[in-house]
Amino acid sequence: MTIRLGLQIPNFSYGTGVEALFPTVIAQAKEAEAAGYDSVFVMDHFYQLPGLGTPDQPMLEAYTALGALASATESVQLGTLVTGNTYRNPTLLAKAITTLDVISQGRAILGIGTGWYELEHDSLGYDFGTFTDRFNRLGEALQIILPMLEGERPTVAGKYYRTQEAMAEPRFRDHIPLMIGGSGEKKTIPLAAKHFDHLNIIAGFDELPRKLQVVKENCEKIDRDPATLETSMLVVAIIGEGITADVIPEDFRQQAVFGSPEEVADQIKTKVLDAGVDGVILSPVTSLDGYHPGPAAEVAEKLKPMLAG
């Protein structure tokens, strides 16, 4: 598994009718594939997020959309950034991700996290609880999901879930790459070191050196080579000539870059790659009225030489 350059599709408000919505999603995924992105991600949400729009704006169910994208693409890895564990029984999630892996001929990535969007939980009837509740729920879910992905049949009688020789067949691979999102130093990073192939660090640029040091320490505690836990950062990129920092809200400035494709690539190198993070997942804003082809591909062209090493 390698995620050096990924593309996240966070917004389905394209200023078009619903009939043109998914063709636009396909166009983005195909553009990313042709431009050399190695992975394409969608969010696992049912309502649009604060800061991106109102809750009633378009949001596709993640695994249905990814299954369709698997048939429309050939080489990019496909996954969520990241699946909310609280939204699905772990056996259903294991079945969904193994199915995606079969449809895509081995291109699925299982991104997973605790879930955090309280409005969705309250509105749709999912238990939210405290962060500790959700973290413990995730830990128990992994005891079911991980063996199922490897072809085992776990029987679990837990606090949150129960299974009886649960299985997921067919499977394309014995190991589907595992990604977790977050940067909590007491819980998330130790869990990443223990179970995951990839950590998507959710933190500000200024926090990256500290987070990477904690990753290193936690890997070494369990005799894992830190180089085997790949890292990335999700970066919002506002792409366009003449854009200045003023367009970025204060609370986003440690996670966003801006300007021409060359300026965006240079900022990613300085703020993310030079800090020691392995890769970047770009969440591009190319226009205020939806998706416009070209800018994300131009950023990839500038970034790929920087990622080659």
- The pLDDT tens digits for 255-296 are 899 999 999 999 999 999 999 999 999 998 866 667 888 999
Helical ranges in 202-260 per DSSP H: 208-221
13 CB neighbour count, 10 Å cutoff: 16
Domain definitions of the chain by residue range: 5-307
CA atoms of 199 and 277, how far apart (whole Å): 10
- 191-201 confidence digits (pLDDT tens): 999 999 999 99
Residue of 37, 107, 20 lying closest to 67 (CA atoms):
107
CA atoms of 138 and 140, how far apart (whole Å): 5
Residue 76: CA atoms inside 13 Å, Cβ hemisphere, count?
30
Is residue 250 packed enough to be buried (19+ CB in 10 Å), middle (13-18) or exposed (0-12)?
exposed
User: 7 — phi, psi (to 5°)?
Assistant: -120, 130
pLDDT of residue 248: 78
- 7-66 confidence digits (pLDDT tens): 999 889 888 889 999 999 999 999 999 999 999 999 999 999 988 889 999 999 999 999
Helical ranges in the chain per DSSP H: 21-35, 62-72, 90-103, 118-124, 131-149, 188-195, 208-221, 261-268, 295-307
User: 206 — phi, psi (to 5°)?
Assistant: -70, -15
Q: Which CATH architecture has domain 5-307?
A: Alpha-Beta Barrel (3.20)
pLDDT of residue 91: 98
**Helix 90-103 with 131-149: angle, nearest 10 deg:** 50
Q: E strand or H helix at 60, and its extent?
A: none
Specify the pTM.
Answer: 0.95
